[in-house]
Amino acid sequence: MQPLLNYIGGSFVPSNSGDTIEDINPATNQRITTLPRSSSIDVDKATQAAIGAGPAWKATPIEERIKWLENIADALEAKHEEIALLETLDTGKPISLSRRVDAARSVSNFRFFAQYAKEQQPMQFEANGAINHIHRNPVGCVGLITPWNLPLYLLTWKVAPALLMGNTIVAKPSEMTPLTANLLAETLDELKLPEGVFNLVHGLGPEVGQAIVEHPNIKAISFTGGTSTGRTVAATAAPMFKKLSLELGGKNATVLLDDARIDDIVDELVRASFTNSGQVCLCGSRVLIPAKMYDEVAEKFVKGVERLKLGDPMDESTQMGAVISAEHLSKVESYINLGIEEGGIVLTGGTSVNASVSGVHAEGAFLRPTVIGGLKHTSRTATEEIFGPVVTLHPYHDEDEAVLIANGTEYGLAGSVWTSDVERGHAFAQRMDTGIVWVNTWLNRDLRTPFGGVKQSGIGREGGIWSMSFFSEMTNVCIKQP
């Protein structure tokens, strides 16, 4: 594959220094290509380009910007298979998942915001003999920083509303998964999106990401990634009074109530735990089970996990591929070892690679899906984010204890509740300190709804009107007839 380049001011260019980074396929540990190792100089060039393009893009009527979003959706849809292949190469996730989730959602992010914008009514309030008209203006040049787990899905989730609201963009994908961000830049270039409206700067987080957050002319930062990085981003951006959206880590609870029918839901519980090798911020990594049902549920859950087919991500039938990198594999394995040290019992999985992964994949970052029982719910393994294919099981005695365990981490992103009684499930859901709770379903997304976490899972919400508000500044014009 050709070396990747930055996309700045409508041109594909190397980094100012000419330095590069290797992009590695985690399923084979082989090099895919190289990408620019950019610096603050490249970020500054991208920002200048974005600022130069700002006035014309701001003046483009919203109807035309909606048309742009629709055209981008069409162009990405035509590349559905290419997106899926690149995403699987970069992340090691199964090709079926890349098609169903990554490629599909990247298109629907643009379609959704185009359609949603058409449905908006002008905001007006009448009082005291005057009418208040609320106008939305672009923020200006915005910085978008995204992680490796859902590369194009999460980038387009930010790009679509940012463009819609008239902003220009400096974006940085994870250096581990740059391929589909490059494909997006190529697509926008083919469509002839005005030069400078979208700029892409590849490189390392502490170099390029930090330079974006620090740049005085980048007025808003939309960041998705880990909580500790989010803390650094916040510490840098807050004193500059930048608009800040932080979508951070999670340690989500999957709660079975005592009327849940395990045989009907076991496959969904496994999916909620191990989709993308547990590398979805919404995955449930702690399963809370009524004590009287614990043995039965644990046995059926483990059997369900053992049915998952681990292997070559390009194989249509594979359900679990590699984790993102050899380094991440070591981190996840160290948590499994910590779990054992903390008194946990590995019920399935563990550190050894499945024997079915061999040949070109022998050097890949594969790990069997792992379930650990017997841990205190306050243990490090059960409270820190592992972000890999590791799930812990915890018995509870009554709903109050289940709430205590579910809320007993510093995170508060998502969770799920499983019950035959939806009212009971709804009531339990409202006791969970999280931004999102699903009852009898998981990762069931309506893009109009608020998405985001509480506590150390983030600040702000994305989706529908919340994304439109983040990417705009509102002016209230209060008019009284003379």
Task: Give me the residues that bind ligand NAP (CB under 6 A), please.
Answer: 145-149, 172, 174-176, 204-206, 209-210, 213, 224-226, 229, 232-233, 247-250, 281, 385, 387, 413, 453, 458
| Alpha-carbon gap, residue 218 to 162, rounded angstroms | 13
Instruction: List, in order, residues 6 or more apart from 195 with CB less than 8 Å away.
Output: 9, 10, 11, 49, 53
Least distance (Å) between residue 200 CB and ligand NAP: 12
87, 207, 268, 281: the catalytic one is: 281
Least distance (Å) between residue 432 CB and ligand NAP: 16
| Alpha-carbon gap, residue 268 to 30, rounded angstroms | 33
| Alpha-carbon gap, residue 373 to 299, rounded angstroms | 11
Least distance (Å) between residue 411 CB and ligand NAP: 9
Q: In 377-421, which residue ranges form alpha helices assigned H by DSSP? A: 380-383, 399-406
| Alpha-carbon gap, residue 226 to 411, rounded angstroms | 11
Is 478 annotated as catalytic? no
| Residue 66 or 386 having the CB closest to ligand NAP | 386
Packed helices 262-274 and 294-306: angle between N→C axes, nearest 10 degrees = 60
| Residue 146 or 273 having the CB closest to ligand NAP | 146
Which of these, 11, 146, 8, lies nearest to 90 by C-alpha position?
Answer: 146
Q: Are strands 390-396 and 370-373 parallel, antiparallel or unpaired?
A: parallel
| Residue 107 or 211 having the CB closest to ligand NAP | 211
Is 283 annotated as catalytic? no
Q: Are strands 123-127 and 130-138 parallel, antiparallel or unpaired?
A: antiparallel
| Residue 45 or 65 having the CB closest to ligand NAP | 45
DSSP string of 61-107, one letter each residue: -HHHHHHHHHHHHHHHHHTHHHHHHHHHHHH---HHHIIIIIIHHHH
Phi, psi of 170 (to 5 degrees): -120, 115
| Residue 33 or 146 having the CB closest to ligand NAP | 146
| Residue 203 or 395 having the CB closest to ligand NAP | 203
Least distance (Å) between residue 42 CB and ligand NAP: 14
> Considering Cα of 372, then 375, then 381, then 386, what sign does the dihedral take?
positive
Least distance (Å) between residue 430 CB and ligand NAP: 21
Find the radius of gyration of the CA atoms of the chain. 23
> Considering Cα of 349, then 351, then 355, then 359, what sign does the dihedral take?
positive
Least distance (Å) between residue 385 CB and ligand NAP: 6
Give, for 223, the enclosing helix (H) or strand (E). Answer: strand 220-224
| Residue in the shown chain whose Cβ atom is closest to ligand NAP | 205
Cβ contact 195:220 at 8 Å: no
| Alpha-carbon gap, residue 346 to 373, rounded angstroms | 7
87, 175, 247, 462: the catalytic one is: 247
Least distance (Å) between residue 117 CB and ligand NAP: 22
Phi, psi of 302 (to 5 degrees): -60, -40
Catalytic residue set: 247, 281
